[in-house]
Amino acid sequence: MAPENSKGQYPPSDEYRETAFIKSAEEFNTLYEESIRDPAAYWAEQAENLDWYSKDWKEVFTWDKKENRFTWFKGGKLNASYNCLDRHVKNGKKNVAAIIFQGENDDHVRVYTYGRLLYEVERFANVLKSMGVKKGDRVSVYLPMIPELTITMLACARIGAVHSVVFAAFGAESLYNRVVDCTPKVIVTSDGNYHAGKTINMKAKVDEILEKGTTIEHVVVVRRTGIETDMKEGRDVWWHEEVAAVPLNCDPVPMDAEDPLFILYTSGTTGKPKGLLHTTGGYLLGAYTSFRNVFNYRPGQIFWCTADIGWITGHTSTVYGPLALGATALMFEGVPTYPGRDRYWQVAEKWGVDIFYTAPTAIRTIRQSGDEWVKKHDLSSLKMLASAGEPIDPDVWRWYHRVIGGGRCPISDTWWQTETGGPMIAPMTGAFDLKPGSAMKPLLGIQAAIYDEEKNICAPGESGNLYIESPPPSFARTIWNDHKKFVETYWTAFPGHYLTGDNARMDEDGDYWLLGRIDDVISVAGHRLGAAEIEAALISHPAVAEAAAVPMFDDIKGEAIYAYVTVKDGFNGTEELKRQLVDHVRTTVGPIATPKVIHFAPGLPKTRSGKIMRRILRKVAEGCRKEEIGDTTTLTDPGIVDTLIATRML
Ligand code: PRX
């Protein structure tokens, strides 16, 4: 890549441009105009890239704006596992690596060719069938980053079951909430997992939730760590024993394009996590198309997305995107800083990674360790870098470009959400002069817009609410069990336009700059957490009367959790109680939700209708002075604001 130009932008090098899917801004503009003139025609053309049993859809796209229901390719039939496996095996990729698994321990390595992966998926699909799992049934998946996770997802897809993956580091309460909502028959888990040198017992958490009562009839346990594991006769079985006992072949089930593929829970503004439902045809097409367009993937390259598959980034960028395209994806179990702070670079060098995709929080952590950790390694195999999950600060972008990318690799800052299924806004790295910190333009077939509160389009430079104008194929269709909430959350603010919940502005060139959430979602190290979920955990402690969690700035994690807590009569806000509360949140929600600050407050600012004024709590947490806090006259007790400022914990 050519160095920074006089405008502070980074044009692609001629060499990179040559390999890119779109090679110039003019080419992009022409394709983009065409794609949004008739999105249905654009997506129907893209759909040719998937393998269909039948393309008998009456209409490519339907959208009932009153009910907020939309469909893509309804009536068309395909199978996601067939598209991710069989068709590549048939097209000469049987012996090409699909997954390179690098465990936390450096010698835990497994490479799955497309042929081998298909074999494993067929066997596990037969295990699920033997447990009575049928088309439409849900299967919960609570596994660390090991190949059995991908195998389980594709095995579900093969027989039409709906997988619902729960992030392995979630605590028992978070796991429970995500499992009971989708009423699965089976949960697939492991005895334990490795995390930064420690062995963590996962099965015990599953046992804990099962004791509370769920619909789960069978527990399949992968032996990953070999730790002592309680197995309940008649309910719990070992993965390796089950796969050895079933037939080898399992034909894929033709699914309607609109049949569900998976449910993935994400945090929202209320306590209950939302189960976003993604469908087979639209999601897979979105994953395929965005993967091809954004990453300029070339056969033989090794693609590494560091996100855990428990989040949408991992679903789309480690499983469905790369495999739909027949790519080779690295799957990494560990963390960036163990056993050394150069772990990512050691892995990238070891496997000759071509494309590296991570979150700004990881880049900030690594940058803080110092350049020497990176310089120890030969990263000349890298061709392209990417980032997702939170805004990337221009300074961090430049460091990523210079130190990791050797000044030669373009960076794609990809903006998207669990709801959108795949990237929506991202630069075409072979075509644009990149702007550090900007996700730049909507992808082909995607229309975005920024509106102010009065629903006027914001002028360049003005910030407002980011909307997606009409739902592309990869969008979630509903919230599992709660279409009303789906409508209220996304489609009510501005009927006919999808509210993203993000703040953004556009610059004079029409490039997008993402500015963070407008709701009560806290993004800790790029992980989306609902304030309400953290508050519910705090309130479940016997000493807590009320709690409110808000984001505070953190130079590594982007945002950290600042929790206000009022204690019940008879309890004192001691250091010991603080420790107890932190531990309590860690075990119920998970270590990612560890509050950075616990502020014992005599009361919380509330309106007369009893609503907690989070705006004020955010400002106090940010360190604002009284005059910067704005109107407090609607509060029942305006004096509480002075008390909070005086007792602020920083
Ligand atoms: O606030 C935005 C932020 O992450 C949120 C979505 O999180 P999640 O559902 O976990 O999906 C992550 C998919 C990458 C968004 O509402 N976000 C995501 N990407 C970016 C981002 N913020 C700024 N820049 C990005 N590139």
DSSP string, 350-366: HHT-SEEEE-HHHHHHH
Pairing relationship of beta strands 302-305 and 328-332 according to DSSP bridges = parallel
Q: How far is the CA of 415 from the centre of ligand 1 (A)?
A: 6
Pocket perturbation via mutation, ligand 1, pick of 167, 306, 390, 400 by most ligand atoms within 8 A of CB: 390
Could you tell me if 246 and 135 are in contact, meaning their C-beta atoms sit under 8 angstroms apart? no
Determine which residue's CA is closest to atom 14 belonging to ligand 1.
389
Neighbours of 195 (CB within 10 A): 17
Which pLDDT belongs to residue 615? 87
Give dist(CA 26, CA 8) in Å, integer: 21
Element of type H or E holding 62: strand 61-64
The whole-angstrom separation of Cα 103 and Cα 141 is 19
What pTM did the predictor assign? Answer: 0.92
Ligand 1 pocket member 423 (CB < 6 A)? no
pLDDT score at 516: 85
pLDDT in tens, 83-131: 999 999 999 999 999 999 999 999 999 999 999 999 999 999 999 999 9
pLDDT of residue 398: 96
Q: How far is the CA of 130 from the centre of ligand 1 (A)?
A: 39
Is residue 415 within 6 Å of ligand 1 at its C-beta? Answer: yes
Those residues of the chain that have pLDDT short of 70 are 1-3, 268-271, 650
- The Cα-based distances of 203 to 22, 171, 238 in angstroms read 47, 12, 12
Instruction: Choose one of 528, 557, 559, 592 to mutate for the ligand 1 pocket test, by most ligand atoms within 8 angstroms of C-beta.
Output: 528
| Each residue's pLDDT tens digit, 72-83 | 999 999 999 999
Q: Which of 592, 602, 565 is nearest to 581 (CA)?
A: 565
Strand partners, 512: 440, 506
Atom 15 of ligand 1 has which residue's CA nearest to it?
Answer: 417
